[in-house]
Amino acid sequence: MRLNTIVPGGLSLILSICALLVSVPTYAEPETAPSASKIEIWPKVRTSLFGTREIHEDSSAIVQLEAPTRAEDASTVPIAMHTQLVQTAGRYIDKLYLVVDNNPSPIAAVFDFTPESGRADIETRIRVEQYTDVRAIAELNDGSLYMATRFVKASGGCSAPAGKDAEAAARNLGRIKFRVDGPITIGKPALAQLAVSHPNASGLVLDQISRLYAPAYYVRKIDVSYAGKPVLTADIDFSISENPNFRFYFLPTADGELRAEIIDTKDLKFESEVLVKSGSVSGGGN
Amino acid sequence: MRARQRNAVAMFRSAIGALALITVASRSLAATDAPKKLGIHAVAAGVYVHLGAQADTSLENHGDIANIGFIIGKRCIAVIDSGGTLQIGQQLLAAIRSVSPLPICFVINTHVHPDHVFGNAAFVGSDTEFVGHSHLPAAFAARRENYLNALTRVLGDAAGGSVIVPPTILIKDTLELDLGERKLVLTAWRTSHTDGDLTVFDTASQTLWTGDLLFVERTPVIDGSVRGWLTTLDELRKQRPAHVVPGHGPVDPPWPHAIDAEAHYLNILISDVTSAQKNGRTLSQTVEIAGLSERSQWLLFDNYNRRNVTACYTELEWED
């Protein structure tokens, strides 16, 4: 989904970005940003996603974006999109777009919400290329757009890294951690956390022998439903960190099952559910 | 560090840099083209080490920030880690040649990190084989481009010629290398500091080279598994070497106190992160608060602790 024509130069731009790294001993980086890319990414992404529609930048009444000024680990940058609306049938946030301008794939994620989501908040971790604007754009059900922006400096090198333990990652592929913070109050948004063990890799590793690039291998879609109704859909790619991890809300209206389905680029499907009862929860792994 | 402090450091560094330039210029009339020699000292008979700077790679140190060295047998020499750039590797080679003409039969890399491996190219030759953990080739493949870009970005021309030279002799458990009446025992460890850590034990002098399984005075870096590293340290501390060469910091630190100090930091991180997670703290909240009680114990703490907290948090959150 993300390797689309928005980014000029397409594949060649992606291939020019360094691929995989975990943490490197830090270098004494100069404080000023390296010479900026000549390609202005945001205008192209903006046009592709929203055409000429107005985007309100005075957005704090709708959505706020938390991100560190300096990323401690460019491969695992915690970000939070906090929304100020309680989702109701008449007025709700329909989508949140997460854009990381200078990433190989700038549209890191698109999250779909419903009134049953309770709140359209999302916390996750992303990979950050050096020195970039990170943007959270909320689209309401009436089509209006609100954007919050933060500038993030990645420290110590590129993003889209390899994991710390290649063998353990292979063993644990598809393992899910899924839980809901109790106690549950019917009618009050409840906080859930979903994580899946997955390399979520860009795949841009050149095999020295074959001189071929392995294909990208990442989680592309997550569907969460409660009592059979969607509460969160996420379209993501390798701009999300290894072991994609999300905190989000849902609105429990009666006892029911919170269900997650995760699909990756090999069309492998991973599933989990949590049973939710007023007062308590149970279940949560796979 | 506050912005003002960072600016002050930057100005100070460039002032030092300017002074260094002036010093070099005034000597250049008598200088030869030979690479500078690294300062080396003997840990034991035939066992030599160069101590890297306790700093991040910069134009001041050209990547000379890790402990590197060599062991001389009757027949040939083994190098243990080669430094952060081709330049440092060449300087190490010059230092070796100042004490022995024997061929270099092995270059052993204790793990993947750039400050230990980018001098390898200085040793490529028909006599020399490169040795590493069985996981090292994959680690090099995954990180190579990224390391090269970072090196060039910080060092510019000083990084010239620095390339990855992967091992052809791979260690899965243990292996003995013979330098000619001198046996080295190499041990491959579970995922600890990285997923490809090797230690080297010189039986003649009972010297243990720990690689970055042991950091002395400098903040340890978790780039593997904090749990695995603690298990490994439990085993290492049972050994009674006559000499210890850590990956960073002074040779022959108090033993096993040096291991215990490092394990203490890792345990503090686990304890602080676990309790933060129990209290529902997010990753971004936890990086602000975990590990801080150790701050006065370690050099470069502010450069590395938050990253260590991130590594710990993302490892421990999968535990039930």
B12-66 pLDDT, tens per residue? 444 444 443 433 333 333 333 445 779 999 999 999 999 999 999 999 999 999 9
Does residue A238 contact residue A48 with C-beta atoms inside 8 Å? no
Residue A243: partners with Cβ closer than 8 Å, 6 or more residues away = A195, A196, A197, A198, A200, B314, B318
Q: Quick check: helix, strand or coil at residue B300?
A: coil
The structure tokens 């970072």 sit at: B150
Q: Determine the angle formed by the axes of helices B226-236 and B257-278, rounding to 10 degrees.
A: 150
**Residue B199, token pair as written in the block:** 């230690």
3-state secondary structure of B42: strand
Question: What is the DSSP pairing of strand A256-264 with strand A269-277?
Answer: antiparallel
pLDDT for res B31? 34
Cα–Cα dist A83/A86, whole Å: 8
Res A284: pLDDT: 66
Chain A 143-172, CB below 8 Å of chain B: which residues?
Answer: 156-158, 161-162, 164-168, 172
Helix (H, G, I), strand (E, B) or coil at B231: helix
Instruction: Assess A76–B contact: CB distance below 8 Å, yes or no.
Output: yes
- How many beta carbons lie within 10 A of that of residue B255, not counting itself? 18
pLDDT per residue over B10-21, tens digit each? 444 444 444 434
d(CA B2, CA A247): 32
Please tell me the distance from the alpha carbon of residue B280 to that of residue B258, in angstroms, as a whole number. Answer: 34
- In the block, tokens 């450091």 appear at B9
B170 pLDDT exceeds 70?
yes
- Looking at residue A98, its pLDDT comes to 98
Tokens, residue B192: 């600890």
Calpha distance B141→B110 (Å, rounded): 16
**Residue A215 pLDDT:** 77
The tokens of B101 are what?
A: 């003409």
| Res. B219: pLDDT tops 90 | yes
Question: Which residues from A are below 8 Å from B195, CB to CB?
Answer: 164-168
Using an 8 Å CB-CB cutoff, list chain A residues near B142. Answer: 19-21, 161-162, 166, 205
- Candidates B310, B312, B316, B319: best to mutate against A (most CBs of A within 10 A) is B310
Structure tokens, A136: 């959270």
**Helix (H) or strand (E) segment spanning residue B243:** strand B243-248
Residues of A in contact with B227 (CB under 8 A): none
A3 has a pLDDT exceeding 50: no
| ipTM exceeding the 0.90 mark | no
Cβ(A265)–Cβ(A217) below 8 Å: yes
Q: Helix/strand/coil (H, E, C) string of B137-184?
A: HHHHHHHHHHHHHHHHHHHHHHHCCCCCCCCCEEECCEEEEECCCCEE
* Residue B278, C-beta contacts closer than 8 angstroms, at least 6 positions apart: none
In whole angstroms, what is the distance from residue B103 CA to residue B312 CA? Answer: 43
Among B9, B58, B67, B143, most A C-beta atoms within 10 A, so best to mutate, is B143
* B133 in reach of chain A (CB within 8 A): no
CB interface of B with A, residues 149-208, below 8 Å: 149-150, 153-154, 191, 194-195
Residue with tokens 């603690």, as numbered in its chain = B230
Nearest neighbour of B195 by CB, restricted to A26, A27, A164: A164
Q: Which residue has the higher pLDDT, B200 or B10?
A: B200
The per-residue b/e assignment along A161-197, b for 16 or more CB within 10 angstroms, e otherwise, is bbbbbbebbeeeeebbbbbbeeebeeeebbbbbbbbb
Q: How far apart are the first and last CA of chain B?
A: 36
What are the tens digits of pLDDT across the range A129-185? 778 999 999 999 999 999 999 999 975 333 445 678 888 888 999 999 999 987 899
Q: Judge contact between A122 and A247, C-beta under 8 A.
A: yes
Q: DSSP letter at B101?
A: -
CA B204 → CA A41, A262, B107, B191, B239, distances in Å? Answer: 61, 56, 19, 28, 15
Q: How far apart are CA B82 and CA A195, in angstroms?
A: 40
pLDDT of residue A279: 81
SS (H, E, C) chain A: CCCCCCCCCHHHHHHCCCCCCCCCCCECCCCCCCCCCCCCHHHHHHHHHHCCCCEECCCCCCEEEECCCEECCCCCEEEEEEECCCCCCCCCEEEEEEEECCCCCCEEEEEECCHHHCCCCEEEEECCCCCEEEEEEEEECCCCEEEEEEEEEECCCCCCCCCCCHHHHHHHCCCEEEEECCCCCCCCCEEEEEEECCCCECCCCECCCCCCECCCECEEEEEEEECCEEEEEEEECCCECCCCEEEEEECCCCCEEEEEEEEECCCCEEEEEEEEECCEEEECCC
Q: What is the pLDDT of residue A204?
A: 66
Contact residues for A58 (Cβ-Cβ < 8 A; gap 6+): none
A61 touches chain B (CB under 8 A): no
Bond from prior residue into A215 cis (ω within 30 degrees of 0) = no
- Tokens representing residue B150 in the block: 């970072």
How confident is the model over A187-199, as pLDDT tens digits? 999 999 999 999 9
Place of tokens 């701050």: B295
Tokens of A61: 């009444």
Q: In the numeric block, which tokens belong to residue A107?
A: 């549209």
Q: A157 and B149 in contact by Cβ < 8 A?
A: yes
pLDDT tens track for B289-310: 999 999 999 999 999 999 999 9
Q: Report the alpha-carbon distance of residue B190 to residue B228 in Å, rounded.
A: 7
Question: How high is the mean pLDDT of chain A?
Answer: 83
Residue from the list A19, A25, A72 with its beta carbon closest to the beta carbon of B145 = A19
CA–CA gap between residue A262 and residue A272 (Å, rounded): 9
